[in-house]
Amino acid sequence: MSDSLEKVWKSLERQQNKEALEDEMDALSVMPVAKPKRERKKPDKAPPLFTIAVDSREQDRLDFDPWLPLGLFTVQFPVTLQSGDYSVIGSHDKCAIERKSAADASASFTRERERFTACLERLEKIHHAPGGYAALVIEAGWAEILAGQEQSMVSGKSVIGSALSASVEYGLPVFFCDDRRIAAACVVKLLSKFWKYNIGRPNRVKGWSKL
């Protein structure tokens, strides 16, 4: 092959390579560019709505752990309460729940009646004040209290009668709960309803129906 033909051939090769390179560049220019993924920012967890106050003298505290994952309230112990065993932080003078086991109730309405009467009078004052609420929660049902008279000198009928009498005399709600789990649920419900209707805004509280 002559030198002139070889030069022409190499020139054609260079031109083809250049055109191929330009085609590749054009293709790259129209290819969509992958945007870096933006990490979604997780919404901040809403703070608890209220805190349950547990009196420092409450030795056999109720278990509120099953409701804590809802994130609607926290529990603070110990707290010095003037009335009741459970309340809402910031509302000690407006909300009080007195808890009694079957044995406590039996003693409170018999040999410790004088001291318990003073307790009922304090609860009465809170319950009948504007925006106040107080109640007595007994962690035993009628059947258990009535059955307890077989192992005690105190009549179960007398205990129930005294509790109902106190409810009428002092105008206090009295709740008989079959066991501690139901008593805990009762206290949580009562305190949450107190917060809902006296402090919070129920129509704007997400997840409230879970309580």
pLDDT tens figures, 45-94: 778 999 999 999 998 999 999 999 999 999 999 999 999 999 999 999 99
- Of 152, 59, 166, residue with least CA distance to 123: 166
- Is the pLDDT higher at 204 or at 154? 154
Whether 125 has a pLDDT exceeding 80, the answer reads yes
Q: Would you state the structure tokens that stand for residue 88, as one six-digit string?
A: 């809402």
pLDDT number for residue 200 = 80
pLDDT number for residue 38 = 72
pLDDT number for residue 91 = 96
